[in-house]
Structure formats: C-alpha cells, structure tokens
Amino acid sequence: MTKNKKLLAWLDEMVELNAPDKVVWIDGSEEQIEELRATACKTGEMEKLNEEMLPGCYLHRTAINDVARVEGRTFICTTEREEAGATNNWMSPKETYEKLYKLYKGSMKGRTMYVIPYSMGIVGSEFAKNGIELTDSIYVVLNMCIMTRVGNDVLASIGDDGDFVKGMHSRADMNEEERYICQLPEDNTIMSVNSGYGGNVLLGKKCFALRIASVLARDEGWMAEHMLILGIEDPQGNVKYVTAAFPSACGKTNLAMLIPPEYYASKGYKVWCVGDDIAWLRIGEDGRLWAVNPENGFFGVAPGTSEKTNPNALAATRKGTIFTNVCHNLDNNTVWWEGLDKNPPEHAVDWKGNPWNGKTATEKGAHPNSRFTAPAVNCPCLSKEFNNPKGVPISAIIFGGRRAKTAPLVYQSRSWQHGVYMGSAMASETTAAASGAVGVVRRDPMAMLPFCGYNMGDYFAHWLEMGKKIPNPPKIFNVNWFRTDDEGHFIWPGYGDNMRVLMWILARCEDKIGAQETAIGWLPNPEDIEVEGLEGIDTETIRGLLSVDADLWKQDADGVEEFYKKIDSVGNRMPKELYEELAGLRERLGK
Ligand code: GTP
Ligand code: SPV
Ligand code: MN
C-alpha cells in the first residue's frame, strides 16, 4: 500500500492499541464502496432508499444521545494552556494520550479498522493537505468518500516520506460520559472516541480543515475559515466571488446555493457555489485573497431545505446521498423532514426509530440537526472553478449571524481593522448544530468559536496581520437575515432574496454606489436595496431593517468588552488594536 515509515509505524501502534480483527485500506474504488454499502445494509447500520426515486441514497440513524457536535467535550490539547486560550477546552497532550489510549484499548475487538487516506483540496495540488483517518465505522468511511477526496492517489501523494494529519476515530462503546474530540496541533493529530456523529467523527471537516488547519494557517501565513464561497455572474459573464462566515446552521449552505430572484435572473445574473462550509484563503500572486473549498461534498442541514428555500441543495440530495437522522417515509421508502413540504408522511419512522404519523405527531419526525451528505458534483449551480486548485479571488468577506434585534440587514466596515473588530464582535443565537440550549445569544467571533485551534487573541492578531500583508484586500461586511418583528416573525424574506443584499455589497466593492457613514460603519441608503418583486417589503421596511439602536449597541459593546477580557484571562493576547476599535465605536455611539 505504502512504504511511508511514519504512516506504517503509527498504523501498527493504533492496530495494536485498538485490536481490530481486520484492517482494510480504503482505495477509493466504486467496487469497494459498493461492497461497504452492502455490508452496512446487512448489519442495519444503513438502509437503502428507493432506487428509482433516490438512486444510490441511504438512511442512517445515530444514537439518540449523539446527534450534534459536542463542544463541551471538544479539546485543544497543547503543552501550554495559553496556546488553547480561554475559549477552548484544554488538556495537555500527555493527559490526552493517557486518557484516550485507555478508551481505545481493545475497542475494536470483533470489528474492522478502516484506513482512509484523504485529501483536503485537489489531490496533490499546492494547497491541498493530506490526512489518514482510522475508524471502525462504515458510516464514517462512506461519508468521508463523499466529503473528501479519498483513495490510492492520496497515498501516492503522501509518498514515502510525506506528511499527513493523523486521525484516530473509534466508536468504542459509545459512552456519552467518555466522549472526546481532541485536537493536538503540535502533533498534527486528531483523536475522537465514543461518537458516531458528523462533525465529531468526519475528521477531515471541522477537526482538520478548521481546528488543525487554523494553526497551520497561522504558522504558514494563510487562513482557514468557517466560510462559504460563492460567485455572482453578471449578464456580461464576469464573475465576482465573496466568502461569508455565519455560525453553524445560520445559512451558509442556503446562501452558497441561492437562486437569484426573477428581477436579477431575467437580466441574466447567475450564482455559482464554490463551497458551503469551509474556505482556505491565501494571498495570490496578483495581491488579492484567493479561496479554495477543501471539501468535496455538502454536509447540510436537512430541515428547512425545500423546493422553495433551496432547490439546488435539494437537487444535490437526489442521488448518491447519505441522510442522517431524518424521517423515513415507509410508503415509498424515501425521506422527509420538517419544512420539506406540507405533506408529512402518515406511515413513517422518526429519527429516533419509532413509528411516526405526520398527521397526528406531536414530536418532530426529523431531528433539527438532521443532515444530508451529498456529493458536490450533484449541485446544479456548482461553480466551474470548483476543481481549480488555485481557487477564486475574493472581493468581499461577509460576517453574519442570527440576531433578532441589534444588527442591521447589512453594513460595511470602515477599514480592514474595523472589519476584524466586526468579526471579533459577532454574536448569534445558538442552534441545534451543537448539543446544548438553542436560541441563546452568544459571542461567536468569525463563526469560529467552536473551531479555532488556538488562542482567540492570537487568531485576531493573525487576521490583523493578514490585512497588512494582502496588497488588495477584500472589503468586509456584516449581514443579518434574522431580524424579527414584535410577533417574532422574520422581517426579511431571506433565501434567494439575500441576493439583493449581495448586489449592494458588490456595488460597494466596485465603488459604484454610495453609503451613509454611521457610528457602526457604512450603511446602505435604503433606496439602494432593490425591492422590486418583493411582496410586503418596500423601502420603508428596508429603512427599518437598517435602523441602529444606539442603546442596544452600547449594551452590545459592554458584551464585547466582557468577551475580550475573558479571552485575555488566559494569556493576555488580545490585540490592542481591537480594544481601540471598541473604544472608537463607543465614542461614535456617544456616551
Ligand atoms: P452548518 O452546516 O451547520 O455550518 O450550517 P449553515 O450555515 O450551512 O446553515 P444552513 O444554510 O444549512 O441553514 C440553517 C437553517 O437556517 C435552515 O433551517 C435554513 O432554512 C435557515 N436559513 C437559511 N438561510 C435563511 C434565511 O435567509 N432566512 C431565514 N429566515 N432562515 C434561513
Ligand atoms: C457545523 O456544525 O458547523 C457543521 C456540521 O457544519 S458539523 O460537520 O457537524 O460540524
Ligand atoms: Mn459548519
């Protein structure tokens, strides 16, 4: 398979530790994948869905207590506590190895260990990085084969002495109390145990492409971010690209695949998806910031995905897709989730595996964090640059979150440094993507709170540093699709209509449109947000969506200060520039 000594030595050690009955190398061939699907169906790990309606699609249910990322059990394991910072759980590498090796010991007896060579990015390309995941879960193997580029060509690219990120995953006995997701950036190693769910076990995704990669990026002068990447093509065929960082389940997949409203579509505008979750950004030879999507598929939130909200995502799930924790429609052996349509099946099985009738049910059929794992090639609006190893040049970086009040529909930063402040001050209501309470506002800087592999103060410093290094940096914006009225309804229609805001952003990037200077940054003139074709929304509604309540913003500034102090409490590494930006904002808001 390989002569790579480091790889073979590590594999030997892990085989001895976990004691699997068998070791199988994943070669990336369709034959092997098909065999694994058949095995998973035989054991009940997956169910094959209707081959006519959903060809090559499967359903999987995780354990009921294992349905989301577990932030409380996710650790950054560095020699010094200061390296991990105040916003991460910390354990020393020594303690981590001791604790997890005990849990791994003999955990694969009677099972098979799969060895998955995978690449984040185009295999062998300059910006790609390789990993090996060891796992006892066929579900993980099949998901990794969709989400990343897997197989023998990756082994070839690692070569005899190439480097790779080590990823060890064992379901062990699925004991929730002993569940750990550990990142060891000093050893380029990830260890995950006692979970079988998405972000906890598909180690190429959050663990590698964000937590480990953010450390590599800091050291090597690039950025690993929780961002979608999309392109907007004008009627002349020019495409401009933007990235956007929204917290988990706050609309990245939806924005990345948006369908332009008729007003723009009829003029010939198109939107292309390059990525929906992770962006690796580097400074290009032309002095601009370039982004690649290191993934090869979409691990998207199912509920709320419909023909109306996101037809492109829905289309992407119609073949070769794995559904996790959705509702199983027994009448036609397909899947259903809340928000798919208004016809919940009456003869169904819910995400917990219990009989479910959509007519009488009081509980949800699909878990709020149920997901689809769909190959990127299925997406009708996939960018033709998707496989371009150089990526795409970025005109704007957009931050955003769920804020019922406070944040306006859109505003622009005063400078890169102020933009970094805006990202650092992001807050959003929590969602079902992580276990714990939903709907609580918390700070989530750059949507990276759960994913930054090092001290958040250093992370902000890295952003400031990048701003100095990029000769022609993207402009920075903040958006909020989630403002509510007094009854708690979203005011802005969102989804495809978010294009109207993107168009203002692009016009600003090209200096084609004016804006009003305010205490918080540059706000649109309300009449510059196109409302033609929108029902019940006029320029007055936009004026309301753009309003800034100085009192709320002063309160928010207090929250930011508290958060900065918390970050400073471990290592004192908050850049002074951000305290200055905070002081400047308070000054402009008026005392
Ligand atoms: P992760 O995969 O967890 O990182 O999430 P994501 O940021 O890709 O979130 P996604 O696009 O899957 O959206 C999550 C939820 O937000 C879904 O239930 C959507 O229906 C809802 N949503 C997305 N965009 C909008 C919008 O513009 N307005 C409103 N009101 N809801 C939205
Ligand atoms: C997120 O939670 O931000 C996701 C899903 O994209 S997971 O892969 O579970 O992290
Ligand atoms: Mn995500």
| CATH H-level, domain 298-378: superfamily | Phosphoenolpyruvate Carboxykinase, domain 2 (2.170.8.10)
Whether the CA torsion 552, 558, 562, 568 is positive or negative: it is: positive
CB 498 within 8 A of CB 481: yes
- Ligand number with the minimum distance to the CA of 253: 1
**Among candidate residues 73, 76, 280, the one with its CA nearest the CA of residue 185:** 76
β-bridge pairing 427-429 and 112-120: unpaired
Ion ligand 3, residue ranges at CB < 5 A: 248, 277
Given a cut of 70, whether residue 418 has pLDDT beyond it is yes
pLDDT at 395: 98
Given a cut of 70, whether residue 199 has pLDDT beyond it is yes
Q: Which pair of tokens denotes residue 246?
A: 């929204």
| Torsion, Cα of 436, 212, 392, 202 (10° steps) | -60
CB 435 within 8 A of CB 69: yes
- Domain coordinates of the chain in residue numbers? 5-44+73-220, 225-296+384-556, 298-378
- What digits encode the pLDDT tens for the residues 501-543? 999 999 999 999 999 999 999 999 999 999 999 999 999 999 9
User: Ligand 3 mean position to 446 CA, how many Å?
Assistant: 12
Distance separating alpha carbons of residues 392 and 394, to the nearest angstrom: 6
Residue with the smallest CA separation from ligand 2 atom 7 is 199
Distance separating alpha carbons of residues 542 and 403, to the nearest angstrom: 16
Residue with the smallest CA separation from ligand 1 atom 2 is 300
Atom of ligand 1 minimally distant from the CA of 301: 12
CB 86 within 8 A of CB 78: no
273: amino acid identity, one letter? C
Close Cβ partners of 177 (under 8 Å, ≥ 6 residues apart) = none
Find the catalytic residue in 57, 145, 182, 250: 250
In Å, what is the CA distance from 251 to each residue of 7, 340, 435, 488, 531? 38, 16, 18, 18, 21
Check: pTM over 0.95? Answer yes or no. Answer: yes
CB 416 within 8 A of CB 473: yes
Average pLDDT rounded to a whole number, residues 192-217: 98
Bridge partners of 228, per DSSP, are: 244
In Å, what is the CA distance from 148 to each residue of 22, 81, 101, 123? 24, 32, 27, 10
Residue with the smallest CA separation from ligand 1 atom 27 is 494
Residues with CB under 6 A from ligand 2: 69, 198-199, 205-206, 248, 277, 299, 433
**Among candidate residues 524, 277, 256, 564, the one with its CA nearest the CA of residue 420:** 564
Given a cut of 90, whether residue 50 has pLDDT beyond it is yes
Which of the four pLDDT bands, split at 50, 70 and 90, describes residue 587? Answer: very high
Percent of the chain with pLDDT over 70: 100
107 Cβ below 6 A of ligand 1:
no
pLDDT at 1: 85
Given a cut of 80, whether residue 254 has pLDDT beyond it is yes
Atom of ligand 1 minimally distant from the CA of 256: 11
Give the total residue count for the chain: 591
User: Ligand 1 mean position to 431 CA, how many Å?
Assistant: 10
- As a whole number, the mean pLDDT across the chain is 97
- What digits encode the pLDDT tens for the residues 139-170? 999 999 999 999 999 999 999 999 999 999 99
Which of the four pLDDT bands, split at 50, 70 and 90, describes residue 564? Answer: very high
Close Cβ partners of 143 (under 8 Å, ≥ 6 residues apart) = 198, 202, 299, 322, 373
129: amino acid identity, one letter? K
Q: Which pair of tokens denotes residue 230?
A: 């999309």
197: amino acid identity, one letter? Y
Where does residue 329 rank: exposed (0-12), middle (13-18), buried (19+ CB within 10 A)? Answer: buried
- What digits encode the pLDDT tens for the residues 269-316? 999 999 999 999 999 999 999 999 999 999 999 999 999 999 999 999
Is residue 11 within a helix (H) or strand (E), and if so which, with residue range?
helix 5-18
User: Ligand 2 mean position to 364 CA, how many Å?
Assistant: 21
Residue with the smallest CA separation from ligand 1 atom 12 is 301
Average pLDDT rounded to a whole number, residues 467-471: 98
Q: Which pair of tokens denotes residue 295?
A: 């993934």
Which of the four pLDDT bands, split at 50, 70 and 90, describes residue 591? Answer: low
369 Cβ below 6 A of ligand 1:
no
546: amino acid identity, one letter? L
Close Cβ partners of 522 (under 8 Å, ≥ 6 residues apart) = 411, 412, 413, 414, 508, 515, 516
Given a cut of 90, whether residue 44 has pLDDT beyond it is yes
CB 273 within 8 A of CB 312: yes
pLDDT at 171: 98
298 Cβ below 6 A of ligand 1:
no
CATH of 5-44+73-220, one of 3.30.930.10, 3.40.449.10, 3.50.50.60, 3.60.150.10: 3.40.449.10
502 Cβ below 6 A of ligand 1:
no
- Ligand number with the minimum distance to the CA of 481: 1
CATH of 225-296+384-556, one of 3.30.230.70, 3.40.710.10, 3.90.228.20, 3.40.50.150: 3.90.228.20
Helix runs in 86-241, H state only = 93-104, 138-147, 152-158, 198-201, 213-220
SS3 track for 304-331: CCCCCCCHHHHHHCCCCCEEECCEEECC
Is residue 250 flagged as an active site residue? Answer: yes
Q: Which pair of tokens denotes residue 107?
A: 């955990």
Distance separating alpha carbons of residues 477 and 400, to the nearest angstrom: 8
491 Cβ below 6 A of ligand 1:
no
Is residue 501 within a helix (H) or strand (E), and if so which, with residue range?
helix 499-509
